[in-house]
Chain A
């Protein structure tokens, strides 16, 4: 009690306020420094993960993105539009891209297969993914889904290879109508446009169905144009023969 030190001793209010202020400032500086110095590396990692997800949906090995993928942006009419900056970086604000009517396409230069990025809402948070379509712009080649915070074991099952294995081979068009993929409760086996929902993950499954349909719809004109192109080529080859 008698010993009074700096600012009235270790347990005075003044000392406590001073101590916590200094501590917080030091910690803030330290964290800001670490965060800034590691940011570039972290962003490179995230970008790399996206690139690998895109090629994985096409069934290609990781690290092949730069060799095989041609990325561009199309508008609602399916026409290519010129945009600034690296296209893959746009994936970090995909919803804004959709809202602005700028739809991103990743095309496999070798065989004309395309991957489109999807974005939607699950039960708790955002869900997103990639759908790879074969060159006929109808058959699904593969899908990758991921989520920010769905329930592990329930909604989060959409991110598992086992769940995603249901998709390849399904088709998104019924005649000229884009029907997307229906997520149904039981009995999806053998149907051309439906997959099983996740047990106990109804809201996430609904979100998934909505995401696939809403996002693919934006590309309707683009897909149809490509389908028409493919048909012309078929007709030409038939004629040539």
Chain B
């Protein structure tokens, strides 16, 4: 039992990663990963929303009328996202400007509703909370990897600090402009999925 609870945290990190295996939440993964910082903040925001919506809806699961189940889920998720958006605006204003509409769009992120519907409504609060954190982490981890590659090769910086030395630029090195555009994120996601499936043979379709 203990082991199973723990698995709800670790499973979404690799074997059942929302982006890499379920191919959910791709839209925001393309949009907010030109730099590492917004990618990290977005990952944390989704994790917070996913964890708390799972926890709250799991606590409420026996009281929710079936007919308005989806509406209740949406109200809880939307309320949490609004709180997150307000907090970002108050404490990390510049990042919240970069993330712009994508924070609000967490409401429609399939990962969150998917986890609530598939897991939280039929499981106890603790595993649901862990499942939410796990999925948020799985999503955030992929975002951070993409953000790392895109910022490093697109701008030569990490978290805004110059990491590619000036002498390389003088020697003729140029930043890759493609990295700053959404298609590069899609290509990187594709490469990560490829590596991931290669490492996990059981995920490969026959």
Contact = CB atoms under 8 A, between A and B. Distances in A.
Given A11-B67, A20-B71, A23-B72, A41 B90 contact: yes
Interface stretch (A27-35, A63-71, A192-200): A27-35
Contacts of A15: 65
B90 A42 contact: yes
A89 interface: no
Interface of A: 10-11, 15-16, 19-20, 23-24, 27, 30-31, 34-35, 38, 41-42, 45-46, 48-49
B68 A19 contact: yes
Contacts, number: 52
B98 to A, nearest CB: 12
Given A10-B63, A30-B83, A31-B83, A45 B68 contact: no
Interface in B32-79: 63-68, 71-72, 75-76, 79
Interface residues of B, number: 20
Judged by DSSP, the binding face of B is: helix
Judged by DSSP, the binding face of A is: helix
Contacts of B83: 30-31, 34
A41 B87 CA distance: 10
Given A16-B67, A35-B86, A41 B91 contact: yes
Contacts of A16: 65, 67-68
Given A23-B75, A27-B79, A31-B82, A11 B89 contact: no
A48 B93 CA distance: 10
Contacts of B86: 34-35, 38, 42
A10 B79 contact: no
A238 B63 CA distance: 87
B89 A45 contact: yes
B82 A38 contact: no
B89 A19 contact: no
Contacts of B76: 27
A11 B91 contact: no
Given A19-B63, A38-B86, A45-B90, A24 B68 contact: no
A38 B89 CA distance: 9
